Structure 1
């Protein structure tokens, strides 16, 4: 079981890595769903932890539909991040106004990414057809996983859809990374019921204060123990 945790600071990254996270998603603007972090923060985290770091590339939180200027901005950011491969990868997503994957823009971003490993983020949850979207993304070897809540605000309410996506993904190289609303409570049943092998945690592994609080060593450890128990049982 792969356990990915959101980090918004070097301290977050240290705590998560030391207490059981397998991978980090590094962002800023956590209350906006995640935005591109600063170069200084990226370098600080990569110098500090030994686990993989997926870096958000998202210029604003208005939507996942981007104009040409914004696409160029994202490509510039990706080019700046390219030297950090293979330890670092990127997290991105881009849609058309009709709710489809913007393949022309996606191809340009992937061309810029080189060897950077790619996660397609929760723009996937706004697709008009997630199964068609999965097939499109499966055509791109650089994209390794899809972060999704199954189209619901809380992934715990989308267990049936996540199970279907996991089953569909088995015919591809893609992994389904379930996230948004996951908590330690109910995690074992969710994993057992859906078949996911990768989970993504944000606010639920932070201290009192929710998304703005620092990552909690206790909460990270709690999730790690649950996932290890599940792995031992399988």
Structure 2
């Protein structure tokens, strides 16, 4: 199981790691779904934690169809991320028709050769999620797709997420990273319904579950415990099936 947690500052990243995060998604302005953070803090972020960090590259809130000047800014930011070292990327782009903008994506990946990419929830605004998954599957650099199954939240999109998980190749990129609206309360039933093995949380990691609040390591530990219990339960069931 992988647990990725959103953090906006080095202090939040450290708190998330203490709580049990396996990976950090570093963003700014979570109220608009995240934009590119202050990259001058890259070295400080990297020193703050031992776990991997993926950096949001998104020049603004709103949609995911970008003009050339916006794409150039994104490429420049990715070059800065690559130069900083020890960081990877979260980004995404769509065409006006609602398909993966492969030309834009290839340009972004070329700006950071060797970096791993998460294609973020632009995926959920694609016209056809199955076709979007196929389009992204040709790029080894795209290791993850962050998605709620095309629904406002992952629990609401559980059925579609289960389909996407079946359609993806387990252990091979891109892997489905389920996120949006997951909490300690709904996670057990979500895991059972989908079989998801990679989980992304934002507000659920914060005091009172508010996006504007600080990271609460205890809330992350509670989610970590749920994931571990789920894995233990799956192993127990597996042994039971074998023994029969």
TM-score of the superposed pair, with normalisation by structure 1: 0.96
Task: Show the 5 A alignment for 1:172-187.
Answer: 173-187=173-187
Question: Between Structure 1 and Structure 2, whose CA radius of gyration is higher?
Answer: 2
Deviating more after overlay: 164-173 vs 92-101 = 164-173
Q: Which residue of 1 aligns with 2:66?
A: 66
C-alpha contact 2:145 2:176 (8 A) present in aligned 1: yes
Q: Which residue of 2 aligns with 1:80?
A: 80
Q: Which residue of 2 aligns with 1:141?
A: 140
Q: How far 1:84 sits from its partner (Å)?
A: 3.9
Q: Which residue of 2 aligns with 1:21?
A: 21
Whether 2:88 is the aligned partner of 1:89: answer yes
Q: Which residue of 1 aligns with 2:238?
A: none
Unaligned runs of 5+ in 1: none
TM-score of the superposed pair, with normalisation by structure 2: 0.93
Q: Which residue of 1 aligns with 2:48?
A: 48
Q: What per-residue deviation string (whole Å, max 9, x for no partner) do you get for residues 66-108 of structure 1?
A: 00000000000001111344x3110000011111111111111
SS of residue paired to 2:178 = strand
CA-based RMSD of the aligned residues comes to 1.2
Q: Which residue of 2 aligns with 1:158?
A: 157
**Structure 1 residue runs of 4+, over 4 Å off?**
none
Distance 2:44 2:93 in 1: 28
Q: Which residue of 2 aligns with 1:108?
A: 107
SS of residue paired to 2:208 = coil
SS of residue paired to 2:207 = coil
Q: Which residue of 2 aligns with 1:38?
A: 38
Q: How far 1:173 sits from its partner (Å)?
A: 2.5
Distance 1:140 1:173 in 2: 8
Q: How far 1:62 sits from its partner (Å)?
A: 2.4
SS of residue paired to 2:218 = helix
Distance 1:65 1:33 in 2: 15
Q: How far 1:44 sits from its partner (Å)?
A: 1.3
Unaligned runs of 5+ in 2: 235-244
SS of residue paired to 1:115 = coil
